[in-house]
Amino acid sequence: MEQPPVRRDGLQLEEHRPFQQKFWKAERIAWAGFGLLLLLALLGIMGSGGVFSRMTIDFGDGYVDVPRFSRWQASDSLTASLPPGASERRFTVGPAFFRTFQIEDIVPPPFATENGSDGTIYHFRSDPEAPLALTMHLRAQGPGVVRYRVGVNGEAMKDARTIVWP
């Protein structure tokens, strides 16, 4: 059996230094890539929590909080605070919303639902002196970018966008 030559540092082993250096470089690039993915996940870009995972749309005294990033076939939620006023409150969702999202549950449940020219209008009854907190539990039915419109109490509808990751 042939033994490897003695190196300058006194060790007697055979190594393929150029291959090893390329492998170390690939490892460092992979570490940086995994670190970047971890950072994106912590910021909420991958969906489900984080600073950038949600978007708030203001409507006068109320607001609608929609997911900015969501996961395909994972549960998510849309929350809204409908401003105090008449005993009946309305929340409108454009038709493009229903091409991607399935509504699993609405809390509190609406007393009436109707289809209008702007989309589906949900009617709620509540105390006229207090805002109504509304939660819609959603499930995305396919990946992609979803652009839709939402409205509160007949105000002008505003645009929302959700990226659904596979």
What is this structure's pTM? 0.77
d(CA 125, CA 114) in angstroms, rounded, equals: 15
Total count of domains within the chain? 2
User: How many alpha carbons fall within 13 Å on the CB side of residue 149?
Assistant: 14
Mean of all residue pLDDT scores within the chain = 88
Note down the domain range covering 34: 16-45
Residue 24: enclosing H or E segment and its boundaries? helix 17-43
Q: Quick: pLDDT tens for 79-114.
A: 999 888 777 888 999 999 999 999 999 999 999 999
Same domain assignment for residues 134 and 113: yes
Same domain assignment for residues 61 and 123: yes
Same domain assignment for residues 58 and 35: no
DSSP 37-62: HHHHHHHTTTSSSSTTSEEEEEETTE
Instruction: Establish if 3 belongs to a structural domain.
Output: no
Q: Quick: pLDDT tens for 56-70.
A: 999 887 899 999 998
d(CA 103, CA 101) in angstroms, rounded, equals: 6
Same domain assignment for residues 90 and 29: no
- Residue 120: the pLDDT is 93
Instruction: Establish if 38 belongs to a structural domain.
Output: yes
Instruction: Establish if 1 belongs to a structural domain.
Output: no
- Residue 80: the pLDDT is 92
Instruction: Establish if 140 belongs to a structural domain.
Output: yes
Instruction: Establish if 11 belongs to a structural domain.
Output: no
Instruction: Establish if 59 belongs to a structural domain.
Output: yes
> Using the 8-state DSSP alphabet, how is residue 143 labeled?
-
Tokens 């460092």 belong to residue: 28
Instruction: Establish if 133 belongs to a structural domain.
Output: yes
Same domain assignment for residues 110 and 145: yes
Q: Quick: pLDDT tens for 146-162.
A: 999 999 887 889 999 99
Same domain assignment for residues 63 and 141: yes
* Three-state SS at 21: helix
Same domain assignment for residues 75 and 151: yes
- Residue 32: the pLDDT is 97
Is the pLDDT score of 53 beyond 80? yes
Is the pLDDT score of 36 beyond 90? yes
Could you tell me the CA-to-CA distances from 63 to 26, 50, 83, 102, 127 in Å, in that order?
Answer: 47, 19, 8, 21, 18
- CATH, residue 134: 2.60.40.680
d(CA 57, CA 60) in angstroms, rounded, equals: 10
Same domain assignment for residues 109 and 160: yes
Same domain assignment for residues 116 and 61: yes
pLDDT interval class at 118 (50, 70, 90): confident
Instruction: Establish if 130 belongs to a structural domain.
Output: yes
